[in-house]
Amino acid sequence: MKKTWWKESVVYQIYPRSFKDSNGDGIGDLGGIIEKLDYLKELGADVLWLSPIYQSPNDDNGYDISSYQEIMSEFGTMEDFDALLEGAHQRGLKIMLDLVVNHSSDEHEWFQMSRRKEANPCQDFYIWEKEKPNNWESYFGGSAWEYDEEKEMYYLHLFSKKQPDFNWDNPKLRQKIYEMMTWWMEKGIDGFRMDVINLISKVPEFPEGEVIEGTPYTEKAPYVVCGPHMHDYLKEMNEQVLSRYDMMTVGEGLGLDVDQARNITDENENELNMMFTFEHVNVEGDENGKWSDQRFDLVKLKEILAKWQEGLAGAGWNSLYWENHDQPRVVSRFGDDGVFWEESAKMLATCLHMMRGTPYIYQGEEIGMTNIRLKSVDEYKDIETKAAYERYTKYLGYSDEKMMSCIHAMSRDNARTPMQWEDSPHGGFTSGIPWFGVNPNYTKINAAAQVKDEASIFHYYKQLIQLRKRFEIIVYGDFQLLLPADRNLFVYERSYEDQKLLTVCNFAAESIEFEVPDSYREKEARILICNYEMAGYENVMQMRPYEARVYLLEL
């Protein structure tokens, strides 16, 4: 395994709309990010990933881009971006931008031209069909095909109808995209996070999706996930753009399995550095998809994570995440946002950061921000949440009460409430009216309070990051799950040269006994971090509620 900076880095994800508003219009912006660079430096992050900052009509909060080389006016100007890049680089922070090129906005000039009836240079930039070819549905509900009155043809949109899919089979389109990527790289950015990049190649015959039993819905995944030319296009992109820079790439891989992820991230394949995979964050889901209000099963979560850890070992590389702008808050989800809020937030951080891979922290995770519970679906802003409410209550027989309970657990808006900076109105996010309400618990949970308090969740994250810089085993060690069937403890070891690292996490709200495996007995071990008062090393350990401990053993 080659040693590289992106394996040794910790990434911090910023959702600019909800991060910090610098001009009082209630919308986070680039000026706000600049104000907080010192905070991010103090935390110890190496790379900042910005969710899309480009010009967009915001049908899907910027994941619908109408101009790739312009900044969204609400976020600022290109001068602001240049200042942000410079400010970040001065502090040794790298910048990774979100690249959304499976689709654009329907307001992009390429689509505006493409939809014209007469021949034009962009006519094959999108996927047009005379007749509606099949029963595929979009990820946000409804048919994936939309009839365009102007062109009198149907276009494909795997997401909203304002997000038409590009036709990657067209080499001219691909060149345009590589040129745009090169333009950003030449500006000096340090990498790309690539939105649903494994959906770019569709099976050209557009076969009918299979009807999902007992529902009026269909499954298109086999025809869009890692389609026939995906590897060719990623290799071409790598050759033409990625390989020319010392940069970092992470692809989002919807519905991707371990083998597919290994093929993409294999160092010898020259595609992408790592992928975001979904299996562990779909752990509560059922045959109806992700919308569930069931508590997760720890044995299943461990099995999934271990499978991915082992599956990419030796060839590819993992990305490690609990949260992002599409996921609920982890302390509410896998921890306890009540009595053991602080302990469980720190335990979950330990559990993730000691695994093999590059860890990602989503804004607010480092201070233990929690889910929200709005009363009615009308108070939610997210396009996916609204579409799911409609689908489940209208067609799948869910009551309003049941669906609201699922939304409280799973909605993407849980992650999108404004960052809680201070104990002042609107959590110090804005001096105006925020575009989306701040979680009322900002008086208790906010960054200012935690930066001051050495024992806070913030400082705990900081320590985890520092450990990664001090001990190579955390980055490069092999992973092995211990006690797979234990329903309360998540225990794993890492091995590197003549060292072992033992991570023990208690996922229960009560004390649980942990017996050290035979091979660890009578060994000298040093505790590296613990979310309670530091604990000694014994053959039988009483793990307190949500306790986490990491031990280093020299063999």
384, interface contact from ligand TEU, Ca ion, none, CB < 5-8 Å by kind: ligand TEU
For ligand TEU, the binding residue among 74, 190, 195, 323 (CB under 6 A) is: 195
139, interface contact from Ca ion, ligand TEU, none, CB < 5-8 Å by kind: ligand TEU
Shortest separation between residue 26's beta carbon and Ca ion, angstroms: 7
Q: How far apart are CA 250 and CA 245, in angstroms?
A: 15
Shortest separation between residue 203's beta carbon and ligand TEU, angstroms: 18
Residue 319 sits at φ, ψ, to 5 deg, of -105, 140
Shortest separation between residue 158's beta carbon and ligand TEU, angstroms: 8
Which residues contact residue 407 at a Cβ distance below 8 angstroms, ignoring those fewer than 6 apart? 291, 377, 380, 385, 388, 389
3-class DSSP assignment, residue 339: coil
Which residues contact residue 17 at a Cβ distance below 8 angstroms, ignoring those fewer than 6 apart? 27, 28, 51, 61, 62, 74, 75, 416, 435
Shortest separation between residue 29's beta carbon and Ca ion, angstroms: 4
29 vs 46 by CB, closer to Ca ion? 29
For ligand TEU, the binding residue among 81, 159, 490, 546 (CB under 6 A) is: 159
For ligand TEU, the binding residue among 7, 20, 157, 412 (CB under 6 A) is: 412
For Ca ion, the binding residue among 29, 60, 195, 382 (CB under 5 A) is: 29
Residue 470 tokens, joined: 């001090």
Q: How far apart are CA 391 and CA 141, in angstroms?
A: 7
27, interface contact from Ca ion, ligand TEU, none, CB < 5-8 Å by kind: Ca ion
59 contacts Ca ion (rule: CB under 5 A): no
106 contacts ligand TEU (rule: CB under 6 A): no
195, interface contact from ligand TEU, Ca ion, none, CB < 5-8 Å by kind: ligand TEU
Q: How far apart are CA 490 and CA 503, in angstroms?
A: 8
DSSP readout, 230-274? HHHHHHHHHHHTGGGSS-EEEEE-TT--HHHHHHHH-TTT-S-SE
263, interface contact from ligand TEU, Ca ion, none, CB < 5-8 Å by kind: none
Shortest separation between residue 100's beta carbon and Ca ion, angstroms: 22
415 contacts Ca ion (rule: CB under 5 A): no
- Which residues in 114-143 contact ligand TEU (CB under 6 A)? 139
25, interface contact from Ca ion, ligand TEU, none, CB < 5-8 Å by kind: Ca ion
- Which residues in 359-398 contact ligand TEU (CB under 6 A)? 384
220 contacts ligand TEU (rule: CB under 6 A): no
494 contacts ligand TEU (rule: CB under 6 A): no
Count of chain residues binding ligand TEU (CB under 6 A): 14
63 vs 126 by CB, closer to ligand TEU? 63
60 contacts ligand TEU (rule: CB under 6 A): yes
254 vs 272 by CB, closer to ligand TEU? 254
37 vs 396 by CB, closer to Ca ion? 37
Q: How far apart are CA 417 and CA 432, in angstroms?
A: 15
33 vs 388 by CB, closer to ligand TEU? 388
Residue 354 sits at φ, ψ, to 5 deg, of -90, 0
3-class DSSP assignment, residue 449: helix
Phi-psi label, residue 196: left if phi above 0, alpha if psi -120 to 50, beta otherwise: left
Q: How far apart are CA 385 and CA 31, in angstroms?
A: 29
DSSP readout, 131-183? S-----B-TTSSBSEEEETTTTEEEE-SS-TTSPBB-TT-HHHHHHHHHHHHH
Angle between helices 341-353 and 457-470 (to 10 degrees): 20
What single DSSP character describes residue 379? G
71 contacts Ca ion (rule: CB under 5 A): no
Q: How far apart are CA 175 and CA 240, in angstroms?
A: 9
99 contacts ligand TEU (rule: CB under 6 A): no
Residue (of 389, 444, 432, 433) closest to 412 by Cα position? 389
Shortest separation between residue 285's beta carbon and ligand TEU, angstroms: 9
382 contacts Ca ion (rule: CB under 5 A): no
For ligand TEU, the binding residue among 10, 88, 196, 403 (CB under 6 A) is: 196
Using CB atoms within 10 A of its CB, is residue 527 exposed (0-12), middle (13-18) or buried (19+)? middle
Q: How far apart are CA 333 and CA 377, in angstroms?
A: 20
Count of chain residues binding Ca ion (CB under 5 A): 5
Which residue type does 193 have? R
Mark residues 296-335: x for contact with ligand TEU by CB under 6 A, - for none.
-----------------------------xx---------
- Which residues in 413-442 contact ligand TEU (CB under 6 A)? none
49 contacts ligand TEU (rule: CB under 6 A): no
What order do you get walking across the sheet with 274-276 strand by strand? 274-276, 248-252, 191-194, 94-99, 47-50, 11-14, 358-362, 319-320
Segment interacting with Ca ion, rule: CB under 5 A, options 15-23, 43-51, 162-170, 253-261: 15-23
334 vs 340 by CB, closer to ligand TEU? 334
385 vs 439 by CB, closer to ligand TEU? 385
- C-alpha distances (whole Å) from 211 to each of 220, 227, 417 are 9, 20, 36
Shortest separation between residue 410's beta carbon and ligand TEU, angstroms: 7
Shortest separation between residue 56's beta carbon and ligand TEU, angstroms: 11
Residue (of 45, 51, 34, 47) closest to 87 by Cα position? 34
Active site residues: 195, 252
Shortest separation between residue 35's beta carbon and Ca ion, angstroms: 11
Using CB atoms within 10 A of its CB, is residue 497 exposed (0-12), middle (13-18) or buried (19+)? exposed
Which residue type does 299 have? V
Which stretches of the chain bind Ca ion, using CB under 5 A?
21, 23, 25, 27, 29
Which stretches of the chain bind ligand TEU, using CB under 6 A?
60, 63, 100, 139, 159, 195-196, 252, 254, 290, 325-326, 384, 412
